[in-house]
Amino acid sequence: MYGEDADLNVRARRAGWRPVITPDATVIHHVGASSARRSDKMIMVMRAKVTFVRDHFEPGARRRSALALLTLGVAVRATLAVLTRWLKAAKAASGRTVPTADAWVGVWKARREWQPGYPPAPVIGKWPTTG
């Protein structure tokens, strides 16, 4: 899932419900497929995080800080990925691998794609109310 679980949890709490976690829960993806590139999946996760912040943080310093921290997190990971790639090349004989190095660089390069988040979804129905 790409943030829908966190979004549903916050909305349920606001409606007065008490969300719980169950270890027996499973998620089955009937539609869609794995992304060919790891960075594509990570871009979708970052868009979901930005959307969550946009939807659940009031406009102001807290929202701006959260969005800046998301961007900073990707920048740090991409920088570390490049450094790791250099180290990996230098230590090729040791057999060490870092599978996500190129993925974070791809996420950083695509930041204009994920920084806006997802567009607002149309409301199909109403959330249940308590009481």
Of 75, 105, 70, 71, the closest CA to residue 88 belongs to: 105
Tell me the mean pLDDT in the region 59-81.
Answer: 95
pTM (2 decimals)? 0.63
As given in the structure block, the two tokens for residue 14 are 């606001």
What are the residue ranges of helices labelled H in the chain? 4-14, 38-56, 61-90, 101-109, 111-114
Mean pLDDT calculated for residue range 81-109: 72
The dihedral built from the CA positions of residue 25, 26, 31 and 32, taken in this order, carries a sign that is positive
Q: Is 80 exceeded by the pLDDT of residue 100?
A: no
CA distances, 123 to each of 7, 35, 83, 120, 126 (Å): 14, 28, 45, 9, 7
Whole-angstrom Cα distance, residue 17 to residue 10? 10
pLDDT greater than 50 at residue 131? no
pLDDT tens-digit series, residues 7-46: 999 999 999 999 888 888 887 776 555 556 778 888 999 9
Domain borders along the chain are 4-114
Percent of the chain at pLDDT above 90?
A: 40
pLDDT of residue 25: 84
